[in-house]
Structure 1
Amino acid sequence: MSFATEVIISVLLIIGGVFVLIGSIGLSRLQDLYTRLHAPTKATTVGLGSILVASMIYMAYVRDFLSINELLITLFLVITAPVTAHILAKAAMHNGVKPMERTKNADLIKKARQQLPPDSQMEE
């Protein structure tokens, strides 16, 4: 394996590790549920994505063919992580989880909780 390939793989692994570490620290240090969801969703998607790309490059040089397993895992992660975080935040909002004191537009949470689902508005 060439030196340039090793450097690229190493840089991708370091970037991935740093982003996963930042996401983990953000998950434990941020104040409320809504901000805690943001840190691991964004940081882990980028972090694990770069780790998986490094794995894909490594396996391409070791086995002499491109494995799409890592690419599919990255695609699945990029699609599902933000959707899962959105569903968790929406469930927390509807269950009345309080945001931080300094949250901007906190009055919109009450307004969103009072709205009926689209199906029940059409029946009336």
Structure 2
Amino acid sequence: MVLMTVFILGGLFFFAVGTIGILRLPDLFTRAHSAAKCDTLGAVLCLIGLMLYSGFNFTSLKLLLVIAFLWITNPTATHLISKAVFMQEKNKKTME
């Protein structure tokens, strides 16, 4: 029970740090970095806490699959969004 609480509180901490980073950082690229790193780690820690809460059963397997999905898709999506904005800014500069 204590380990579950530590994981969930750790996840909530990283969610809070990511939110502060989104609000305080100056440009899109640093905000995206903050969102990708902190949200991925926060979600993974919270889901591990939920796995510990539910015990090791079929629900834990589903949560493990969600963790794997998040680990792959969240950084990939952030990278593609940042790359699209970078290319858009690059094209604006060449048009001028």
**Which residue number in structure 2 is paired with residue 42 of structure 1?**
37
Q: How far has the Cα of 1:40 moved from its partner?
A: 1.0
**Which residue number in structure 2 is paired with residue 72 of structure 1?**
65
CA distance, structure 1, for counterparts of residue 16 and residue 45 of structure 2:
13
Q: CA offsets, 1:87-111, max 9 Å, x none?
A: 01110011107xxxxxxxxxxxx8x
Q: Please say which structure displays the higher CA radius of gyration.
A: 1
Q: How far has the Cα of 1:28 moved from its partner?
A: 1.2
CA distance, structure 2, for counterparts of residue 65 and residue 22 of structure 1:
32
CA distance, structure 1, for counterparts of residue 40 and residue 16 of structure 2:
12
Q: Which amino acid aligns with 1:90?
A: K
Q: How does 1:1-124 map to 2 (within 5 A)?
A: 6-60=1-55, 65-66=57-58, 67-96=60-89
Unaligned runs of 5+ residues in structure 2 are none
User: Relative contact order (C-alpha < 8 Å, sep 6+): which is higher?
Assistant: 2
Q: How far has the Cα of 1:37 moved from its partner?
A: 0.2
Q: TM-score, normalised by structure 2?
A: 0.88
Q: How far has the Cα of 1:44 moved from its partner?
A: 0.8
Spell out structure 1 runs of 4+ moving beyond 4 A.
Answer: none
Unaligned runs of 5+ residues in structure 1 are 1-5, 98-109, 114-124
Q: How far has the Cα of 1:65 moved from its partner?
A: 2.5
